[in-house]
Chains A and B, each alone.
Chain A
Amino acid sequence: MKNINIVFAGLGGQGVLRASDITAEAAFLTGFDVKKAEVHGMSQRGGSVSSDVRFGEGIKSPMIPAGTADFLVLLDASQKDPNALYCSDSTVIIDPSVIKIETLPNPKGLNVALLGYLSKMLPAIPEENWLKALDNNFPEKLRESNVVAFNIGREANQK
Chain B
Amino acid sequence: MESNRKLLNGDEAIAYAARNAGLNLGIGYPGTPSTEILETFSSLGGRAQWAPNEKVAAEVAIGAALAGGKAIVTMKHVGMNVAADPFFTAAYTGVKGSLVICAADDPGMASSQNEQDSRRYAVAAGLPMLEPADSQQCYDYLLLAVELSNKFGTPVILRLTTRVCHSKTIVKVGPFNEPKTPSYTKDAKSHVMVPAFARLAHVRLRKRLKDLEEWNCQNGPCTFLGPEGAKSGVIATGISAMHAAEALPEARIMQPGMTYPLPLAKIKEFVNSHEDNLVVEEGDPIVVETLLANGMKVRGKKEAFRFGELNVGRVKKLAADDITPDPAPAPGKPPQLCPGCPHRLTFQALHDLGCTVCGDIGCYTLGVLPPYEAMDTCVCMGASISAALGMREVLPAEQAKRIVSVIGDSTFMHSGLTGLVDMVYNRPPHGHVVILLDNSTTAMTGLQEHPGTGRRLDHTETVRVDPAAVARAIGVRVEEIDPLPMKDTLKDFIQEQLDKEDVCMIIMKRSCLLALKHLKDREAQAKEKKN
Query: Which A residues are closer than 8 A to B by beta carbons?
Result: 11-12, 21, 24-25, 28-29, 31, 33-48, 59-63, 65-66, 78-79, 81-85
Contacts and interface: CB of A to CB of B under 8 A. Distances in A.
Contacts of B166: 37-40
A101 to B, nearest CB: 20
A12 B329 contact: no
Nearest to A80: B330
A63 B312 contact: yes
A63 B336 contact: no
Contact of A63 (B163, B330, B366): B163
Contact of A85 (B7, B162, B327, B366): B327
Contacts of A46: 333, 335-336, 338
**Residue picked from A28, A29, A48, A62, most chain B C-beta under 10 Å:** A62
Nearest to B246: A60
A41 B445 contact: yes
Given A39-B110, A46-B336, A83-B329, 20 more contacts: A24-B7, A34-B169, A36-B167, A37-B167, A40-B32, A40-B110, A41-B33, A41-B110, A41-B111, A41-B444, A43-B335, A45-B338, A47-B332, A47-B334, A60-B246, A61-B245, A61-B246, A61-B311, A62-B163, A82-B331
A53 to B, nearest CB: 9
Interface residues of B, number: 41
B332 A44 contact: no
Nearest to B110: A39
Interface string B212-235: 000000000000010000000000
A47 B369 CA distance: 13
B286 interface: no
A29 B312 contact: no
18 contacts: A21-B168, A28-B7, A33-B170, A37-B163, A40-B110, A40-B111, A41-B110, A45-B337, A45-B366, A47-B336, A48-B332, A60-B225, A60-B245, A62-B239, A63-B312, A65-B312, A82-B330, A84-B330
A25 B8 CA distance: 10
A37 B329 CA distance: 18
Given A39-B110, A62-B163, A63-B312, A28 B170 contact: yes
Contacts of B334: 47-48
A46 to B, nearest CB: 6
Contacts of B333: 11, 46-48, 78-79
**Residue picked from B111, B169, B245, most chain A C-beta under 10 Å:** B169
**Residue picked from B1, B7, B334, B337, most chain A C-beta under 10 Å:** B7
Contact of A45 (B7, B245, B331, B336): B336
A65 B330 contact: no
A12 to B, nearest CB: 7
B125 to A, nearest CB: 27
Contacts of B514: 44
A61 B312 contact: yes
B167 A62 contact: yes
A34 B7 contact: yes
A65 B315 CA distance: 11
A34 B9 CA distance: 12
Contact of A25 (B7, B247, B330, B445): B7
Interface of B is mostly: loop
Nearest to A37: B167
Interface string B58-87: 000000000000000000000000000000
A54 to B, nearest CB: 10
Contacts of A31: 1
Interface in B313-334: 313, 327, 329-334
Contacts, number: 114
A73 to B, nearest CB: 16
Contacts of B332: 47-48, 79, 82
Contacts of B247: 61
B302 to A, nearest CB: 19
Nearest to A33: B170
Contacts of A43: 335
A24 B168 contact: yes
B313 A65 contact: yes
B329 A85 contact: yes
A56 to B, nearest CB: 12
B182 interface: no
Nearest to A28: B7
B110 to A, nearest CB: 4
Interface string B230-250: 000000000100110111000
Nearest to A50: B332
Nearest to A81: B330
**Residue picked from B134, B167, B446, most chain A C-beta under 10 Å:** B167
A151 to B, nearest CB: 24
B335 A42 contact: yes
B468 interface: no
B363 interface: yes
A84 B242 CA distance: 24
B395 to A, nearest CB: 32
A45 B366 CA distance: 9
A158 B150 CA distance: 60
Nearest to B341: A45
B168 A36 contact: yes
A41 to B, nearest CB: 3
Given A42-B111, A82-B330, A35 B335 contact: no
A134 B239 CA distance: 29
B410 to A, nearest CB: 15
A44 B515 CA distance: 12
Contact of A42 (B110, B311, B331): B110
A2 B181 CA distance: 51
Contacts of B330: 81-82, 84
B311 A63 contact: yes
For the complex of A and B, the 10 pairs showing the least CB-CB separation, nearest first, are A48-B332, A41-B111, A45-B335, A47-B335, A41-B32, A81-B330, A62-B167, A82-B332, A65-B312, A60-B246
A118 B169 CA distance: 22
Contacts of B336: 45-47
Interface string B287-322: 000000000000000000000000111000000000
Contacts of A48: 332-334
